Amino acid sequence: MKAIHIDRFVSNVTDLKPSTIPNPFSKSSQDIHIKITHAAVTHVDLLYAQGLHQNNRRHVQPPFILGTEYAGVVTHSPPSSSFPPGTRVFGGGLGAYAEQICVSEPTIRRVPSQWTNAEACAVGASGAVSYGALISVAQLKAGETVVVLGASGGLGVVAVQIAKAVGARVIAVVGGKEKAEVVRGVGADEVVDYRQEGWEARVKALGNGGEGVDVVYDGIGAVESGIRCLRYRGRLVVVGFAARGGKMENLKVNKILLKGVAVFGYRFGEDSRRDPQRTKDVWDGFMNLVEDGKIRPVIYKEDYWGLEAVSRALEDVRERKAWGRAVIRVCEVEEDTTEQKARL
Ligand SMILES: NC(=O)c1ccc[n+]([C@@H]2O[C@H](COP(=O)([O-])OP(=O)(O)OC[C@H]3O[C@@H](n4cnc5c(N)ncnc54)[C@H](OP(=O)(O)O)[C@@H]3O)[C@@H](O)[C@H]2O)c1
């Protein structure tokens, strides 16, 4: 099969090209084989390709197949599986930039009937990550005001919708007019552009009559700015460092004390390894919102056809052209039933 195979980390993602490698094989008789139809392009993939993610120290070392989120169609599964051949599924795990993947059942979910495979792929695990951070960790409640930093990105556009779905007021922080339109389109009540000087003061002014916001969702690595936006005894959850280019922030901890704020970290993968029940609850909570029609996938407008397009898509994410999720169309789907084809 064709795949983006990493035998050594690259410094330039435009160097990535598909190569032909052996098809994936079952490690257990319970494994499920999937033909991948779509793969998402995430910030994590960008870091994995370059060896810049914390997981590259231990869990993710070459050789590996790049790509962490996909959707596809089951081609082979054990008779006991709840995903018989032909089932449309989406999942997370290394190996998404390939024509096929072989995985264990708990890592995949059925594509909700109202979504295409591309849409399921665009949401992928981002929904569960954002739900876990906002609801399980930061305990966001109806009537509170939350600011989402990195609101136009893959995680951010879902965070905005989750916060709206639980009855919070949402301030989205983005860079640029096109991205402002995107977050307004998914329900943000207020939009602030971080390119304008004094944006933190603008956010603070919008929360609790000028006292500041109740919760900060930080997907970019701007804790000091986030604390400036918070009210006294507010909560901030650190989700990612998309703006830091690998250089971590040095925070003066007196900022935490002076405002009496709580700063949490949330690491979805590690939480899943250490506390699978909590992650299951997070997924269930998020999928309830999906079933209630509260989550609309946001796919970046550019068409990325075939695994050859992975490098261009990663570069567009690196250059911050993309919003929502860039999605690769991995294959043309011909052999499925009319109903499935209509949803792919
Ligand atoms: N905690 C976890 O378990 C977990 C799981 C998955 C991912 N993550 C992390 O979460 C972060 C977001 O991932 P993603 O896939 O959603 O990324 P993404 O789709 O690439 O979005 C990144 C966002 O960051 C914003 N951004 C980038 N540089 C910025 C800057 N200098 N100033 C302000 N905003 C900036 C972009 O906004 P503009 O384009 O508007 O500038 C964009 O909205 C990443 O750091 C990723 O590693 C964490």
pLDDT, tens digit, 9 for 90 and up, residues 250-274: 999 999 999 999 999 999 999 999 9
Residues 149 and 259 reside in one and the same domain: yes
Does the pLDDT of residue 337 top 50, yes or no? no
Domain presence at residue 195: yes
Residues 258 and 146 reside in one and the same domain: yes
Residues 108 and 138 reside in one and the same domain: no
Of the chain, the percentage scoring pLDDT greater than 70 comes to 97
Confidence band, pLDDT 50/70/90 cuts, at residue 343 = low
Atom of ligand 1 nearest to the CA of 320: 39
Nearest CA to ligand 1 atom 31: 243
Confidence band, pLDDT 50/70/90 cuts, at residue 342 = low
Q: Ligand 1 mean position to 155 CA, how many Å?
A: 7
Q: Which of 250, 270, 290 is the last residue of a domain?
A: 270
Distance between CA atoms of residues 39 and 16, nearest Å: 15
Distance between CA atoms of residues 63 and 22, nearest Å: 13
**Per-residue confidence (pLDDT) for residue 245, from 0 to 100:** 83
Confidence band, pLDDT 50/70/90 cuts, at residue 79 = very high
Structural domain count of the chain: 2
Q: Ligand 1 mean position to 328 CA, how many Å?
A: 19
DSSP 337: -
Tokens representing residue 6 in the block: 């990493």
The dihedral through the CA atoms of 232, 238, 239, 242 has a sign that is: positive
Q: Which residue has the higher pLDDT, 77 or 245?
A: 77
Confidence band, pLDDT 50/70/90 cuts, at residue 247 = confident
For the stretch 98-133, pLDDT in tens is: 999 999 999 999 999 999 999 999 999 999 999 999
Domain presence at residue 302: yes
Check which CATH number belongs to the domain holding 20 and give it.
3.90.180.10
For the stretch 5-21, pLDDT in tens is: 999 999 999 999 999 99
Does the pLDDT of residue 309 top 60, yes or no? yes
3-state secondary structure of 304: strand
Residues 130 and 219 reside in one and the same domain: yes
Nearest CA to ligand 1 atom 48: 240
Domain presence at residue 157: yes
**Could you tell me the residue range of the domain that residue 259 belongs to?**
126-270
Residues 133 and 237 reside in one and the same domain: yes
Q: Ligand 1 mean position to 341 CA, how many Å?
A: 32
Q: Ligand 1 mean position to 98 CA, how many Å?
A: 24
Q: Who lines ligand 1 at CB under 6 A?
A: 42-44, 129, 150, 152-156, 174-175, 179, 194, 219-220, 239-243, 266-269, 317, 320
Residues 145 and 110 reside in one and the same domain: no
Residues 101 and 133 reside in one and the same domain: no
**Per-residue confidence (pLDDT) for residue 340, from 0 to 100:** 59
- DSSP annotation string for 1-61: -EE-EESS--S-GGG---EE-PPP--SSTT-EEEEEEEEEE-HHHHHHHHT-SGGGGTT--
Residues 175 and 307 reside in one and the same domain: no
**Per-residue confidence (pLDDT) for residue 335, from 0 to 100:** 46
Averaged pLDDT score across all residues of the chain: 95
Domain presence at residue 120: no
